[in-house]
Structure 1
Amino acid sequence: MNRTEPQAAPSFTQDAFVTWVRQATPYIHAHRGRTFVIAFGGEALLDSRFPDLVHDIALLHGLGIHLVLVHGARPQIEQRLREQGAELRYVNGLRVTDERALACVKEAAGIVRVEIEALLSLGLANSPMAGVRIPVVSGNFVTARPLGVIDGVDYAHTGLVRRVDQHSLKALLDQGMVVLMPPLGYSPTGEVFNLSAADVARSAAAALGADKLIFLLEGRAVLEGSGLPSNLLTQDIDRLLQSAKLSDELASYLRAGAEACRQGVKRVHLVERCIAGALMRELLTHRGSGTLISAEPYERLRSARIEDIPGILDLLRPLEEHGILIRRTREHVETDVAHFHVLDCDGLVIACAALYPYPAEGMAELACLAVHPDYRGAGRGERLLAYLSELARDQGLRRLFVLTTQTAQWFQERGFTSAGIEALPNDKRALYNTRRNSKVFVKDLCSSPQMP
């Protein structure tokens, strides 16, 4: 564009785009140089929207993320079996891969690989892939063993992952390659085994110490009823598998996700593939779009650090602009950072509060309580309040007070009672701003319930 030409006023769409990019920026920085393993079924290739998914994968690669793609090939295998008048036999939910079926597996896996490589090589002008060159490599990275004979049933060429060649994978990823892994494994004796894509993806993620393992689920792999919760711990999955009515496919992904976390993978994401842009929303937005599995809670309450100051200021600024909080400069927050505590969500500050003790009067002030708009309504404010109340008790303080102009009801509903400015500690009373005319609320910590 000629920058001297007059430009139209920004439209809502343009403003929304700029806002989205700004909100995505912390995630872009956090993901750069990380290793993600993304698994999807052969159904994805039959969908006319599959090129959109490839464009998203290309974007992730362009953002500096190391990518391992694990694909399934079930519909392609089943089609070839039908053409031969055969079918893939299942016993006790496990596939039986005879010689005939194995030939179809190898053929289907080869065709799927070529189709994916072709789409990742697309570079047409005026397309999302314009000017993009993505080197893709596949190989015999998986050593497998036969499933064997179970309850008298010989599962033939159906196998399990025995080992993943992590050194070769890491070397290729460090060179900027996208690694493509089919649901096949090989034995030292030269045999080929039909594997579960979920097993391959889990094993690859564990071997690489991947930062994320992402399963793109098909429509049938959905929890009946209201759907999966947005966050699950590994122990939650154990209970869910015992109590909930799950499809075999979803159950297998949940087991693989829980096992991956136990083997050191930091995060596992279950995302519905058919939702447009779901992968991007899961990885680059606050709300996400799927279910996150982790071994430990991904939200942590902790003391604030210097590097948290930009996130704290971002939380406080909208409340300051609406007059809910008094304005604080960066220097003010830097000076007081030791008093702040934050709720950390996967490295991002999503809530904060400050605790200022007045030990001579046995009191403490709760200030700067703020929760990011995308995370409100889930008890995070209450969690911060309970946490800081417990900290005050540990310091031998008996009462907690707040000054507020617009959130009195919220504090009253949580046990605070109205008081006059004479209830404030002497030092705080001397600084009271009569023009702001904040209301004073006090809570007796001695009678407050302990933090759960």
Structure 2
Amino acid sequence: MKSNDWLHGFRHSSPYINTHRGRTVVLTIPGDAIAHGNFINIIHDIALLSSLGVRLVVAFGARPQIQARLDGAGVESTFVRGLRITPEAHLPLVMEAIGGLRAYLESQLSMGLVNSPMHNARIRVSSGNYVAARPVGVLDGIDFGHTGKVRRVDAEGIGRLLELGHIVLLPPMGYSPTGDAFNLSYEDVGSQVAMALKAEKLIVFIDDQGVLEADGSLIRELTTRQASERLAAGVVTGHDADLLKAACDACIKGVRRAHIISYIEDGALLSELFTRDGSGTLVSSDNYEQIRQARVEDIGGILELIQPLEEQGILVRRSREMLETEIDRFVVAERDGTIVGCAALYHYPEEGAGELSCFAVDPAYRRAGRGDELLARIEKLARGLGIHKLFVLTTQTEHWFRERGFQPTSVQSLPGPKLASYNTQRNSKVFFKLL
């Protein structure tokens, strides 16, 4: 690593630091993560986020710790539908395991050793009865005992602690007005709390880099629709499916974004929050909110995006001056202040036709469906203008457009003004689509 690499990264993280300051982020941390060797680094990163003004809620799990306590007492535990059955006789052991883990987390967040990342951190950690619960009850004839589900979240009480700068620590326990305690799933707690607080982000820690394709490659972005399709198709199974469903539920009910990241990879949390591409999988309710009309201040980002494609001969070169005069024709895909896609629509009203032009997507986001979203926005704009035929000139992306309903046509079918300016040296192929 070069001696000044940290400086470059630190400077480029500044927009993300400003974005997250004062925002609420809910972390869901499984008991397996707490038992992992990398957990001390996660603690350090939580302390750093707190020092940067991020309002933090930590919902933690305790499944392996509960299992160890039950095993130590010679008690057999049963799981049904992914939930541990908690008979009344087991509840004291469950509470001991969770209580011990909560004390351990509080001690770790209280560290302040000299020469450690938490020196002078002075973090205040608060916990309490902020989650009301109800019993799961009897399912398929099986009584789940003191296993419960989140019934209500005291968002006002948690919000007051966050205003004071406290980290709110929530165990996988809930309480009822009858005085009963219930063993909850931490992912249910994290998701429901994030919804109640209308958190900016829900962070879900797992033992993989994120949601993976069948070939093991990372899926960097999923909409809730895409994630739901994967769940319905059984592509994601087991506990990972529960976590992905929790992320989807949170996004559908008001959480802006959910992030599924690794608890094994050192720095995954900071990388996900403070770099453009992140480290794991982003789940969002709808990517259309990132597709918008271009503005003059987007020109620099558009130029940076299209320059490599111009150099490869895929796009026709455009000067800054040309973009300034034609910026109202463009739509852009924006992510965290960065332009990751663009497209332009040119109207030929006499022929009732429109040209899709300067169509570009950052390579890192092509598999996330950003191109389809840009095309859908252009088609919507075209219909609004009364355009019934959309055409595109391309030299290297023929198949992408054909897969989306564009049909080959002759150069002579182009509108008159476009035909007059057609560059025979580029020899672009022409495709059209009826709207």
TM-score scaled to structure 2, two decimals? 0.81
Distance 1:59 1:424, change over 3 A: farther
Distance 1:380 1:196 in 2: 34
Q: 1:81 aligns with which of 64, 70, 83?
A: 70
- The amino acid of 2:320's aligned partner reads R
Distance 1:307 1:124, change over 3 A: farther
**1:142 lines up with 2:131 in the alignment:** yes
Distance 1:400 1:150 in 2: 57
Q: 1:44 aligns with which of 26, 29, 33?
A: 33
Per-residue CA distance 1:301-335 (angstroms, 9 max, x = gap): 33223554554354356678999734416xx6555
Instruction: Give the Å deviation of 1:382.
Output: 7.1
Instruction: Give the Å deviation of 1:120.
Output: 1.9
Q: Are the counterparts in 1 of residues 390 and 433 from structure 2 also a CA contact under 8 Å?
A: no
Q: Show the counterpart of 2:404.
A: none
SS of corresponding position for 2:287: coil
Per-residue CA distance 1:225-276 (angstroms, 9 max, x = gap): 4457433343444443343165432222233223223322222222232233
Trace 1:41-440 onto structure 2 (pairs within 5 A).
41-218=30-207, 225-226=214-215, 229-244=219-234, 246-297=236-287, 300-306=290-296, 308-309=298-299, 311-315=301-305, 325-328=317-320, 333=323, 336-345=326-335, 348-357=338-347, 359=349, 368-376=358-366, 380=370, 384=374, 388=378, 391=381, 394-396=385-387, 408-410=395-397, 425=417, 439=426
SS of corresponding position for 2:2: helix
Q: 2:18 aligns with which of 24, 29, 54?
A: 29
Structure 2: runs of 5 or more not aligned: 402-406
SS of corresponding position for 1:129: coil
Q: Are the counterparts in 1 of residues 209 and 265 from structure 2 also a CA contact under 8 Å?
A: no
Q: Show the counterpart of 1:8.
A: none
Q: Are the counterparts in 2 of residues 400 and 442 from structure 1 also a CA contact under 8 Å?
A: no
Q: Are the counterparts in 2 of residues 224 and 246 from structure 1 also a CA contact under 8 Å?
A: no
SS of corresponding position for 2:120: coil
Q: Show the counterpart of 1:449.
A: 433
Q: Are the counterparts in 1 of residues 147 and 184 from structure 2 also a CA contact under 8 Å?
A: yes
- The amino acid of 1:312's aligned partner reads I
- The amino acid of 2:173's aligned partner reads L
Distance 1:376 1:262 in 2: 24
Q: Are the counterparts in 2 of residues 353 and 369 from structure 1 also a CA contact under 8 Å?
A: yes
Instruction: Give the Å deviation of 1:338.
Output: 1.6
CA RMSD of aligned residues (A): 3.9
Q: Show the counterpart of 1:3.
A: none
* Larger RCO (alpha carbons 8 Å, 6+ apart): 2
Instruction: Give the Å deviation of 1:208.
Output: 0.6
Instruction: Give the Å deviation of 1:192.
Output: 1.5
Per-residue CA distance 1:384-421 (angstroms, 9 max, x = gap): 4675477557454878677xxxx84457986889979x
SS of corresponding position for 2:230: helix
Distance 1:221 1:342 in 2: 27
Q: Are the counterparts in 1 of residues 299 and 320 from structure 2 also a CA contact under 8 Å?
A: no
SS of corresponding position for 1:449: strand
Distance 2:227 2:415 in 1: 49
Distance 2:356 2:345 in 1: 5
TM-score scaled to structure 1, two decimals? 0.78
Q: Which 10-residue stretch deviates more, 115-124 or 365-374? A: 365-374
Q: Are the counterparts in 1 of residues 332 and 340 from structure 2 also a CA contact under 8 Å?
A: yes
- The amino acid of 2:144's aligned partner reads Y
Structure 1: runs of 5 or more not aligned: 1-11
SS of corresponding position for 1:214: strand
Instruction: Give the Å deviation of 1:35.
Output: 1.3
SS of corresponding position for 1:215: strand
Residue correspondences, number: 425
Distance 2:334 2:243 in 1: 27
Distance 2:81 2:308 in 1: 57
Instruction: Give the Å deviation of 1:71.
Output: 0.6
Distance 1:86 1:17, change over 3 A: same
Distance 1:203 1:23 in 2: 33
- The amino acid of 2:188's aligned partner reads D
- The amino acid of 1:128's aligned partner reads P
Instruction: Give the Å deviation of 1:280.
Output: 2.5
Moved runs in structure 1, 4+ residues, more than 6 A?
A: 220-224, 317-324, 360-365, 415-420
Instruction: Give the Å deviation of 1:347.
Output: 5.7
Q: Percent identity?
A: 45
Instruction: Give the Å deviation of 1:345.
Output: 3.4
SS of corresponding position for 1:13: coil
Instruction: Give the Å deviation of 1:138.
Output: 0.8
SS of corresponding position for 2:203: strand
Q: Which 10-residue stretch deviates more, 83-92 or 388-397? A: 388-397
Instruction: Give the Å deviation of 1:185.
Output: 0.9
